[in-house]
Amino acid sequence: MDRMVSRTARRATASAAALLTLAVVPAHAATPEPDPRNSAAVALPAPDMAGLRAVLRTLTTQGAPGAIARIDDHGTVRTAAAGIDDPTTRRAIGNADRFRIGSVTKSFSAVVLLQLADAHKLDLDASVDRYLPGLLPDKRITVRHLLSHRSGLYDYTNSMFANSVSGFEAVRDKVFTYRQLVQLSLKHARTNAPGAAYSYSNTNFVVAGMLIEKLTGHSVATEYRERIIEPLKLRDTFYVHPDTKIPGRHARGYLTPDRAGANLVDATDQTVSWAQSAGAVISTTRDLNTFFSALLGGRLTSAAQLAQMERWTPVNSTTRYGLGLRRRDLSCGVSVYGHTGAVQGFYTYSFTSKDGRRSLTALANTSNNGTVLNTMAGTLESAFCGKRTKAIQGSSLTGRGSDVTERHVAYEDIAPRVARD
């Protein structure tokens, strides 16, 4: 669930954001490309823990009450934390805290569907209409189009969260059906023809949830649990929709107000019904590292289906999108694989190396703050690129000891009004 931007970007109207999605994109964006990188292990430099801690401290100066990160590296665990969980109690935030992972949920949904493809219950290139007759207005939209954000279906959260705080308060306790969310999308024109271009839309993964339930006869909660959570022994990962509470010890999340100077909005308790299979999972840094390590390590799908996940559509100069999976190309030449997430009150970065042997998950307990979101990219640089040269240390964006190649990268997922990348 990502979608927070700087004050300047937030001034853009919802209609302007919609128009941006109609912009001409390079022709190559319409054709997914296989990952050309060798799957063999790549020797990575040691993580820069001083740089990572500096990034987390920087986040707390930019509006996040607290920030945490965990690196799992060939069996070695490294953790870092800065700031607080709750401005009232002043409790320190920590890596044992559970939190809402936002659009990292999309990778869970994609894994379930690819397992169904492995079982020959789903054809990625079949029309969605084969499985959900009459749901969508265009029979050319395939399952692959959904999972790669190339369906052209309008993202209903653009309108839902045109005003971030009031939009959130209107839905925080509301329970939607999947069909209601799809209907909110279909009230708007599509952004492009099926397969023609990449255009991020949460609607795609709402339909993915419908496919999971139709093909299995079970809820997405059951499928996440039986196919991913229990096999990987993810003890802190839950799908509690439509309950509003995060069970057990958890971080509180704070939505940055629309008006400068106003108090942070405690957004911890909510149904996340407006996201569901696109963004409602709860987890921890430990569990997310375990998940992505298992996925890239080939323990959740066949090699053939993992290769399908890694057929990339270019997003910008440093980002590619596969099937519910992102690839980020770092300044040191290393590529990492995972997903970003934003839901009101929480920003998450969760990525792993090509072989799944080094993983990083980082959290900041705020949202609707584009400066914080972009600074979090520095956690990847510290975790996978190691110590940088003095020439690029001290970046105002990422904190001392880290660097990113682009300072104005925008990210998407679920959350109010985030610019498209």
Q: Pick from 414, 418, 371: which is nearest to 64 by CA?
A: 371
User: Cβ of 285: how many Cβ atoms within 10 Å?
Assistant: 29
Q: Pick from 334, 293, 315, 306: which is nearest to 412 by CA?
A: 315
Structure tokens at 58: 């920087």
Structure tokens at 122: 């789903």
Q: Pick from 242, 268, 264, 103: which is nearest to 177 by CA?
A: 242
3-state secondary structure of 67: strand
| Angle (nearest 5°) at CA 397 between 20 and 68 | 100
CA distance 9 to 4: 9
For residues 167, 367, 353, 398, the Cα torsion angle rounded to the nearest 10 degrees is 150
For residues 47, 53, 54, 58, the Cα torsion angle rounded to the nearest 10 degrees is 130
Instruction: Cite the beta strand spans of 325-398 per DSSP E.
Output: 326-329, 335-343, 346-352, 358-364, 366-367
Residue 289 burial (C-beta neighbours within 10 Å; 0-12, 13-18, 19+): buried
CA distance 60 to 157: 27
Cβ neighbours of residue 279 closer than 8 Å, sequence gap 6 or more: 1, 100, 101, 102, 103, 105, 106, 202, 205, 272, 341, 343, 413, 414
Cis peptide before 133 (omega within 30 of 0): no
Cβ neighbours of residue 28 closer than 8 Å, sequence gap 6 or more: 314
CA distance 279 to 216: 20
Exposure string of 370-397, with b = 16+ CB inside 10 Å and e = fewer, is: bbbbbbbbbbbbbbbbbbbeeeebebeb
Q: Pick from 417, 391, 397: which is nearest to 409 by CA?
A: 397
103 catalytically annotated: yes
In the set 15, 39, 103, 109, the catalytic residue is 103
Q: Which residues are catalytic?
A: 103
